[in-house]
């Protein structure tokens, strides 16, 4: 099933550090949010494979906005 | 004198610049992004122009949108404030190419001094000591290893084009050199357009002491005293004061002399700041140039009675400085506390909506520079600085007690702020005794 990794703070997408097709483990950083010029790390809460990257640098984000979609068995 | 100024910035500094412009009879044009449409200073300005969406790349960092706003409104000058495009040579050049007066050093000077290693070489050429390290760029991790093995670990790798507390990486030893070098280069490429780094050695118990200066187009340069800015978190300042408790009169004269030598050599015009580190054993090392109005400039304004924004505008208008060094007097003590929208313990940003707001009483000894209004949002896209509380006192204890009172009366609800941290700092014995260095927050609180 598909699960999303969501923005945990509002701000701007600084970068997504995973690529489509990449294997991701629970706890692994997948993206970084720039909130008020401070970088906040966004980690996955589950194991999976990156199905789609939704965010790109400078995108405006609200809390809960999906940044990366993972295909996961969990 | 120019008759209208566009302020290419946001937040408290816009209100600050408008105040002086009004006193001088200069009309003002503010610009804003969609996220700042309710900012209180937009009403204070004579005109306000929407320049783009919240994303700063498309608004406050968008050179063509700002130039378009300046041309459309017939602005005679552009004041860049601090941060954003304020030290960007390409912006200064675009302003001048549009036939508009740039309030700041020339585009050529800005382009040259954007390289920290260039500035280190300039300082060295006029016999001003720089923080020990490499004057030029290090080309490889091996060069870092060689330097560390010869001079001792740890060392700092600093990005040649870094700034705002970003681009400083500590290398503990040989085994880390490659990893840190690659990380620093990558961050530099992404954030500053250049991965070039140079090395600085670690200075023990460093205090951050900076000198404010004014330089005109006729070769005159005066120093407006030092500011002590050692209280920092993440290499960003929280409390600044003047005079510094450690700078004695002959050290002040030495710092002024060094500052004038460097500034004259560069051919810099306008207001600016030279940052120095003072080591625990009392040596001063040149660190870098801030080629703009600084956040903490009100401290100097209190101490000297000189309006720095006014001087910037008159220098930019081609007027000669009408003061000499001997005219600059330092009266009493001034302190600034920066209030950030952050958790005061973790420093995690705290954007949101200000639900309630109560300012301390203000008089000629308490100044609050801010752009706050109840029921407006603090957007997550920009710097967390909410307000600055600046106080004057006859001496340091007098200033500190006034600052404490003002901070205690300042209420901001809806977002977390660093007011409790500021109070904790000024209540601490170490701070009160003046026994501080740049590690204070990590080691003494």
pLDDT of B234-287, one tens digit each?
A: 888 999 999 999 999 999 999 999 999 999 999 999 999 999 999 999 999 999
pLDDT tens-digit map of B46-58: 999 999 999 999 9
Which residues in chain B have their CB less than 8 angstroms from residue A9's CB? 349, 380
Residues B333 and B254 in one domain: yes
pLDDT over 90 (residue B369)? yes
Residue A71 belongs to some domain of the structure: no
Q: What is the mean pLDDT of residues B331-355?
A: 96
Average predicted confidence (pLDDT) for chain B: 96
C-alpha closest to that of A24 among A46, A53, A2: A46
pLDDT score at B444: 87
Residues B178 and B215 in one domain: no
Q: CA B337 → CA B199, B207, B340, B399, B441, distances in Å? A: 31, 17, 10, 12, 14
Contacting A with CB below 8 Å, chain B residues are 53-55, 57, 164, 190, 234, 341-342, 347-349, 351, 380-384
Residue A24 belongs to some domain of the structure: yes
Alpha-carbon span B337 to B15, nearest angstrom: 18
pLDDT tens-digit map of B30-50: 999 999 999 999 999 999 999
- Tell me what percent of the residues of chain B surpass a pLDDT of 90: 95
pLDDT over 90 (residue B138)? yes
The values of phi and psi at residue A40, to 5°, are -115, 125
Contact: B341, A60; criterion CB under 8 Å:
no
Residues B172 and B221 in one domain: no
Residues B223 and B295 in one domain: yes
Q: Is A35 on the interface with B (CB under 8 A)?
A: yes
pLDDT over 80 (residue B421)? yes
Residue A40 belongs to some domain of the structure: yes
pLDDT score at B8: 98
Rounded to 10 deg, the angle between the B177-192 and B141-151 helix axes is 120
What's the CATH code of the domain at B234? 3.30.470.20
Q: Which of A10, A36, A58 is facing B383, going by the closest CB pair?
A: A36
Average predicted confidence (pLDDT) for chain A: 95
pLDDT score at B125: 98
pLDDT score at B294: 97
CB B241 within 8 A of CB B228: yes
The domain containing residue B67 runs over which residues? 4-103
pLDDT score at B97: 98
pLDDT over 90 (residue A74)? no
Q: Is A8 on the interface with B (CB under 8 A)?
A: no
Q: Report the length, in residues, of chain A.
A: 74
Per-residue pLDDT band for B163 (boundaries 50, 70, 90) equals confident
Q: Would you give the DSSP letter of residue B371?
A: -
Alpha-carbon span B383 to B10, nearest angstrom: 10
Looking from the CA of B217 toward its CB, the CA atoms found within 13 Å total 13
Contact: A36, B54; criterion CB under 8 Å:
no
Residues B90 and B164 in one domain: no
C-alpha closest to that of B40 among B360, B264, B374, B311: B374
Residue B43 makes CB contacts below 8 A (sequence gap 6+) with: none
pLDDT score at A73: 83
Q: Which of A11, A15, A58 is facing B380, going by the closest CB pair?
A: A11
Pairing verdict, β B27-33 and B4-7: parallel
Contact: A9, B349; criterion CB under 8 Å:
yes
pLDDT score at B162: 87
Looking from the CA of B229 toward its CB, the CA atoms found within 13 Å total 25
């Amino acid at each position: 099933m598909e699960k999303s990794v969501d923005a945990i703070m509002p701000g701007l997408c600084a970068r997504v550090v995973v690529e489509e097709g990449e294997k991701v483990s629970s706890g692994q950083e997948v993206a970084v949010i720039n909130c008020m010029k401070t970088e906040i790390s966004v980690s996955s809460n589950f194991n999976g494979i990156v199905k789609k990257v939704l965010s790109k640098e400078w995108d405006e984000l609200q809390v809960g906005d999906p940044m990366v979609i993972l295909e996961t068995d969990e | 004198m120019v008759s209208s100024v566009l302020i290419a910035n946001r937040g408290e500094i816009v209100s600050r610049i408008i105040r002086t412009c009004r006193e001088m009879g200069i009309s003002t044009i503010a610009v804003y992004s969609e996220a700042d449409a309710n900012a209180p200073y937009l009403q204070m300005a004579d005109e306000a122009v929407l320049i783009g969406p919240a994303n700063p790349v498309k608004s406050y960092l968008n050179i063509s949108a700002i130039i378009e706003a300046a041309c459309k409104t017939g602005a005679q000058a552009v004041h860049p404030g601090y941060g954003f495009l304020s030290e960007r040579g390409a912006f200064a050049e675009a302003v001048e190419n549009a036939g508009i007066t740039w309030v700041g050093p020339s585009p050529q000077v800005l382009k040259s001094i954007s390289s920290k290693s260039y500035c280190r070489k300039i300082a060295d050429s006029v016999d001003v000591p720089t923080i020990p390290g490499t004057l030029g760029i290090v080309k490889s991790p091996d060069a870092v290893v060689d330097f560390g093995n010869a001079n001792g670990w740890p060392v700092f790798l600093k990005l040649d084009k870094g700034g705002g507390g970003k681009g400083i990486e500590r290398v503990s030893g040989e085994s880390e050199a490659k990893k840190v070098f690659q990380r620093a280069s990558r961050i530099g490429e992404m954030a500053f357009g250049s991965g070039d780094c140079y090395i600085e050695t670690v200075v023990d118990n460093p205090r951050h002491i900076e000198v404010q200066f004014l330089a005109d187009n006729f070769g005159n340069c005066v120093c407006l005293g030092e500011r002590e800015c050692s209280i920092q978190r993440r290499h960003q300042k929280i409390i600044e004061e003047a005079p510094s408790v450690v700078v004695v009169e002959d050290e002040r004269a030495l710092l002024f002399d060094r500052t004038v030598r460097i500034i004259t050599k560069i051919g810099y015009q306008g207001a600016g700041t030279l940052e120095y580190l003072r080591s625990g054993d009392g040596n001063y090392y040149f660190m870098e140039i801030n080629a703009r109005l600084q956040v903490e400039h009100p401290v100097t304004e209190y101490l000297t009675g000189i309006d720095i924004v006014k001087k910037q505008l008159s220098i930019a208008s081609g007027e000669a400085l009408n003061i000499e060094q001997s005219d600059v007097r330092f009266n009493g003590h001034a302190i600034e506390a920066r209030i950030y929208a952050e958790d005061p313990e973790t420093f995690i940003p705290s954007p949101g909506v200000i639900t309630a707001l109560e300012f301390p009483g203000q008089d000629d000894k308490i100044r609050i520079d801010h752009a706050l209004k109840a029921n407006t949002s603090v957007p997550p896209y920009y710097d967390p600085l909410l307000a600055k509380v600046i106080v004057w006192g006859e001496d340091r204890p007098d200033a500190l007690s006034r600052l404490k009172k003002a901070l205690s009366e300042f209420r901001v609800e809806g977002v977390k702020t660093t007011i409790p941290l500021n109070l904790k700092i000024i209540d601490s014995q170490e701070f009160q005794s003046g026994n501080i260095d740049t590690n204070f927050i990590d080691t003494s609180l």
